[in-house]
């Protein structure tokens, strides 16, 4: 399952790279990318664990960039 989220408020390319690495490291994620220019997080994950993975991705985003809102596109 491919999911795309807008990272509203993302203001640092370094933080975008940290979020990308963090989400890619989640068990069940096969691919992850963050575009700083479009402020989009895209990842591919196991369908059966999608809700769990989305929750973990949200926690990673908030830990790195507390003011960013993760909005599904």
Using DSSP, state whether 12 is helix, strand or coil. Answer: coil
- CATH code of 2-72, in short, is 3.30.70.100
- pLDDT given for residue 46 in this prediction: 87
7-21 residue pLDDT tens? 999 999 999 999 999
pTM confidence score: 0.93
Q: Where are the domains of the chain?
A: 2-72
Distance of CA 11 to the CA centre of its chain: 15
**Mean pLDDT along residues 17-39:** 96
Tokens of 20: 């990308």
Where residue 29 falls among pLDDT bands split at 50, 70, 90?
Answer: very high
Is the C-alpha dihedral spanning 73, 66, 32, 49 positive or negative? negative
Q: How many whole angstroms from its chain centre is CA 62?
A: 10
**pLDDT (tens digit per residue) in 34-48:** 999 999 999 999 889
């Amino acid at each position: 399952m491919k999911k795309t989220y807008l990272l509203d408020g993302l203001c640092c390319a370094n933080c975008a790279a940290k979020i990308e690495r963090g989400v890619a490291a989640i068990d069940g994620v096969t691919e992850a990318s963050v575009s700083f220019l479009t402020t989009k997080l895209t990842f591919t994950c196991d369908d059966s664990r999608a809700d769990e993975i989305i929750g973990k991705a949200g926690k990673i985003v908030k830990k790195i960039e507390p003011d960013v809102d993760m909005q599904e596109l």
